[in-house]
Chain A
Amino acid sequence: NAGVTQTPKFQVLKTGQSMTLQCAQDMNHNSMYWYRQDPGMGLRLIYYSASEGTTDKGEVPNGYNVSRLNKREFSLRLESAAPSQTSVYFCASRLEVFTEAFFGQGTRLTVV
């Protein structure tokens, strides 16, 4: 009953370092999403993958890349981390558009 699993849960990076956030779902969902949440704000969409083999930009894609590795996994990469990317990152999945979304537990990222 894992649902959506994100790794790592916490990470501290130095400015300029790179890292990849991993997300996997075991619900056989077609669509997957990456959001960021800054203090006191709602969630903003970074990138999404409506189906395996496709990715599209969301509201705030600059500074990020994504890979839909297979149907289960959707990774988010920061090539050169900046302090402005300090945030909590959430991965989500759903069966398809216009269906219920399920979220992972989040990754708290600090860039110093």
Chain B
Amino acid sequence: GIQVEQSPPDLILQEGANSTLRCNFSDSVNNLQWFHQNPWGQLINLFYIPSGTKQNGRLSATTVATERYSLLYISSSQTTDSGVYFCAWEETSGSRLTFGEGTQLTVNP
């Protein structure tokens, strides 16, 4: 199966800082999504981004499918951004969404 590396595994920021989270894939993937799991365990869709760039407020994401990576940008971070960020993907055959191991983000006031 496809191997994915999410980096960094852990990240600590001061409020107001910017950050970039990354997913690298060993092969072509489809249906790339980014999720945020908040400290209460809820999984929230951030972006559905099989290719290109999308922005939603302080967050934006870019997927370059031909180069097998996706990036999540967080600008002007806030304490409410804390939690775990997962990328998830689907192999070309479809039918199941697989999750990376996540990036644990802590934003301190």
Contact = CB atoms under 8 A, between A and B. Distances in A.
Interface of A: 33, 35, 41-45, 48, 50, 56, 58, 88, 90, 92, 94, 97-103, 105-106, 108
A102 B98 CA distance: 14
Contacts of B96: 33, 45, 48, 58
B8 to A, nearest CB: 15
A41 B6 CA distance: 12
A50 B30 CA distance: 17
A18 B22 CA distance: 40
Contacts, number: 54
B52 interface: no
B99 A101 contact: no
A88 B33 contact: no
Interface string B48-83: 101000000000000000000000000000000000
Contacts of A106: 41-43
Interface residues of B, number: 22
A53 B35 CA distance: 29
A33 B96 CA distance: 8
The 10 closest A-B pairs by CB, nearest first: A97-B94, A42-B99, A103-B43, A100-B48, A43-B99, A98-B31, A42-B101, A106-B41, A101-B97, A42-B102
Most chain B beta-carbon contacts within 10 A, residue among A58, A97, A108: A97
